[in-house]
A and B are shown apart, each in its own frame.
Chain A
């Protein structure tokens, strides 16, 4: 069934090379986008929980905007609209970026900042779910606000939200396909191109589907591995001392026990 993938294309490659190149863009987008999303998401999520009203309001504004506009529309805003709003010289410079980078960078920024808003909400829920005694104990030891976040709150909150982060990881790699709308030839776009070139639609989409399934499996197993690696000895997840915490997180994140916050 997949034999057609080994056939020669018009440009002298094989169709499978198209798929591999598409996979490369998908992975690059998901990988680098994830680190942008994680970094920004943790900062914004912390921002939502700090005492300073202005900071908390800004963080909330960020989340509201980036979570409530469809990712495809955000993609267009970065790709089509931003260069027009910038000073002409800068806008033109952006438009001159050669393909595929001219599509890749807007897609990267778009996916990173979109996913960051979702991660920020998880981080906030994780922080709010920690027992109050943790902050009190840290204060009683004389730790400043920064030190308390750095050494006590954030390390615990991040462990708590690993299950929800798993679905964000799955979300970002699936959302990479949206980049095809601004011309990035990632995996789904390559599958469609192969389908159009060969009329072997089953094979083309089937191959892409298998690759996405494999990615999902890897993402899931990888996160499970991380979860196990950073698990605190003496505390099974949702057991022991953190039990009330874990259930509260479940309610707040809106993720039912096994990370239900769903993303496409």
Chain B
């Protein structure tokens, strides 16, 4: 097991995220129990499962937006305990895209992308601007750079959110149901952006129900139910021949 040999920095094929025996409770409700997951550099993982299965909680724990109660999370060689320096250090390397975009409404599109690189990475305004425009171009929204989030459609906002996360040059991107809050006609533009990102070699963990997307880019599909990882397989196997009853039910529901 590579992650046990974890020094501080590891080779390119080493794991970027290691989750061991993770537990998370909200009051009496157990959101995650005994979750183990390893994400290698360059790997694309799709997390799926019924609502309330703990998939969002899992990726929120990886970014320490939720505090876990037991188990270990190691991100890029740093274990997430309670120490703020570690947490902020890790967050710099982990990009996150939210279901509800969470763009900063009082900042223009390009300012949204420049804030963290300037304040956290210490880039000059010019450098941050150049990087922001470059990435906005990549998600094909650079012509809207000076508009405000409220003036954009949901799909456009989500693409800005992706660009904002990329501006920190993260080692891994987490996506928390990035298309669930979108009108159907906007889902594709966001998925296309994510596919491109995947083809560029970005390490990605995506919580999504877009099974076409999972088939196209996922190296592994991880199926969760009631706070546990129930099944892990390559997409071909998972969709063709799910091993567990619960996964079959789930697929039956979303594919009709």
Across-interface contacts of B105 in A (CB, < 8 A): 156, 232, 234-235, 241-242
A143, CB-defined interface residue at 8 Å: yes
Interface range on chain B: under 10, 10 to 19, 20 to 34, or 35 or more?
20 to 34
* Chain A, 137-175, CB within 8 A of any chain B CB: 137-144, 147, 151-152, 155-156, 159
B88, CB-defined interface residue at 8 Å: yes
Set B104, B119, B147, B148: member contacting A137, Cβ < 8 A: B104
- In the complex, the answer to whether B102 meets A133 with C-beta atoms within 8 Å is yes
* Residue of A140, A143, A159, A241 with most partner-chain B CB within 10 A: A140
- In the complex, the answer to whether A136 meets B65 with C-beta atoms within 8 Å is yes
A96, CB-defined interface residue at 8 Å: no
- In the complex, the answer to whether A155 meets B65 with C-beta atoms within 8 Å is no
B164, CB-defined interface residue at 8 Å: yes
Across-interface contacts of A241 in B (CB, < 8 A): 105, 149-150
B158, CB-defined interface residue at 8 Å: no
Q: From A146, which residue of chain B is reached at the shortest CB distance?
A: B119
Number of A-B pairs whose CB atoms are under 8 Å? 86
* Interface residues of A, dominant DSSP: helix
Set B65, B103, B115: member contacting A151, Cβ < 8 A: B115
- In the complex, the answer to whether B100 meets A234 with C-beta atoms within 8 Å is no
Across-interface contacts of A98 in B (CB, < 8 A): none
Encode contact with A along B60-71: 1 for CB under 8 Å, 0 otherwise.
Answer: 000111000000
- In the complex, the answer to whether A142 meets B96 with C-beta atoms within 8 Å is no
Q: From A159, which residue of chain B is reached at the shortest CB distance?
A: B106
Across-interface contacts of A142 in B (CB, < 8 A): 88-89, 91-92, 116, 120, 168
Supposing A234-B147, A234-B149 touch, asked if A144 and B88 sit within 8 A by C-beta, the answer is yes
Across-interface contacts of A131 in B (CB, < 8 A): 100, 102
B165, CB-defined interface residue at 8 Å: yes
Query: In the complex, what's the smallest C-beta–C-beta distance from A10 to chain B, in angstroms?
Result: 57
* Chain B, 9-46, CB within 8 A of any chain A CB: none
- In the complex, the answer to whether B65 meets A134 with C-beta atoms within 8 Å is no
Residue pairs across A and B with Cβ atoms less than 8 A apart, 12 shown, are: A133-B101, A137-B103, A140-B96, A141-B168, A142-B92, A142-B116, A142-B120, A151-B119, A233-B148, A234-B149, A235-B150, A241-B105
Q: Rank and list the top 5 A-B pairs by shortest CB-CB distance, nearest first.
A: A234-B150, A234-B151, A137-B102, A141-B116, A133-B102
